[in-house]
Structure 1
């Protein structure tokens, strides 16, 4: 895919729209053209799914069933482990910036 992506960026090959189809490289056919001999049919899949749903009985009539319908916001952000990693990255970035600044001041970097 990377090669197709690079070629698709060339002006002379723009008309081929290679980047549009790069995701489908290596796939030799359409989803609906699969062989019935080696696979199942969509009709059989639909029938199996319908049969499964017919047998599916929701247990809402039972007094033993508890339905939780109240949602609450628990939070967002880093886990404690992720927080430690983020702090380490921030410290590394600050140190790199400081070293680069000092190198420029001393004439090591342009």
Structure 2
């Protein structure tokens, strides 16, 4: 019995497709900016989770929105401190919202 040889491309694992950062950013911003959904604590939690990875990767808008969310909505000091750090990073990068939010917090 003769076996066919399998090509290398068929046996190698396909490259991982990473979801674009912008998609999760857009969904999170839509959730937070929606008048009815943006007030729900569960929606804010979901939006924060969607913003977390882009903020870690250095996306300034994600750092700004997640920092604002953490400073305003989180009940413990550790999360507020992390939020302020994110706002500082975004403010250093030139984000106006982050600069204004930091001005309100530090005054």
* TM-score class normalised by the smaller sequence: under 0.3
Question: What's the TM-score, normalizing by structure 1?
Answer: 0.18
Higher helix share: 2
Higher relative contact order (CA 8 A, sep 6+): 2
Greater C-alpha Rg: 1
